Amino acid sequence: MFKLKSKYLRFTYLFFASALFLVHYIFPINQTIQLVFFGLGVLFFGIPHGSLDHFIYHHERKELMSIKSLANFLLFYLGFALLYSLLWVISVELSILVFIIISAYHFGEMDLKSLGLKANLGSRALFSIYGLLFLVNYLLYQFPQVEAILLGFPGFDYSQIEKLKLLYGYQMEVMISSILLFIPVLLIYLIRNKQMGFLQLEAILQLALLMLIVFNLPILLGFGLYFNIWHAGLSMVEIKKFLGWQDKSYWFIYRKSWVTNGLSFLMIAILFMVFRGNVERLLAIFFMAIAILTAPHMKVISSFFSKER
């Protein structure tokens, strides 16, 4: 697994996404199976792609792993996570907003990697614009399901949901405006940097198909497909290449990160036991945990992506 090149892996994932969409369209998948699909995706793709951060951290610094270097990594990683955890205590609304902004850049950096963009301020702005427009439109398009999850966040009440409902009635207008904004910005960037070609057109069409599918699936299937398979799967390919593990198997990755994987699996098992029967609260707590770890994870991943560009 993951031995295909990133280009061909994207086609494979798009084929799987199309098949999943057709199956759900013909034989609607019930919520229990959707939850199993989402959970298995987290276990086999989502968590492992983030559990290699300490290897990336050391490899980037050309350091041998030692007690001192691991302590430095944990200080950096858990320090970021602790600061963001404090933000949840101060303001749930602000913490969710920060999470969306951080995730926007992180998703944009991975999705637009196939465009072959140069490392400069313009490409970073492009990542953020793309990711932000994707997340805002996705949250609006899936708002009834998103609303139930948001109400599952501790400290988030219905009065705060009312503010978001103002935009819900205009989701189509927001989507059209987003497309009309992003496409010209992207074209101007590509033309100015002399990077407009078949490769870029192919990547844009792939993303358009992916978004069409993701937006029209229930959130457990759609976001599970996007985050656990597309994002995490493609990230794993880049991580393996960076670490020089191109020829290593998927199970080699699992064995290398058995401690961090094991702790994550234990946390998920506890969540399932505590919030069994309350899917919305379960997902809310899960996304909160992901949010806390996203800031240091994004910093680690972005550092080696920038070097590649």
> What is the predicted pLDDT for the residue at 96?
81
At 305, list the tokens. 């992506």
At 115, list the tokens. 């465009």
> What is the predicted pLDDT for the residue at 249?
79
> What is the predicted pLDDT for the residue at 83?
84
> What is the predicted pLDDT for the residue at 1?
44
Mean pLDDT in each 10-residue stretch from start to end of the chain (309 residues)?
62 94 94 88 82 84 82 85 82 82 89 82 89 91 82 69 74 90 91 84 92 94 93 88 83 77 75 72 75 79 68
Neighbour tally for 232: CB within 10 Å: 21
Quick one: which of 103, 120, 110, 112 has its CA closest to 186?
112
Query: Amino acid identity, residue 80?
Result: F
> What is the predicted pLDDT for the residue at 309?
57
> What is the predicted pLDDT for the residue at 177?
93
> What is the predicted pLDDT for the residue at 155?
67
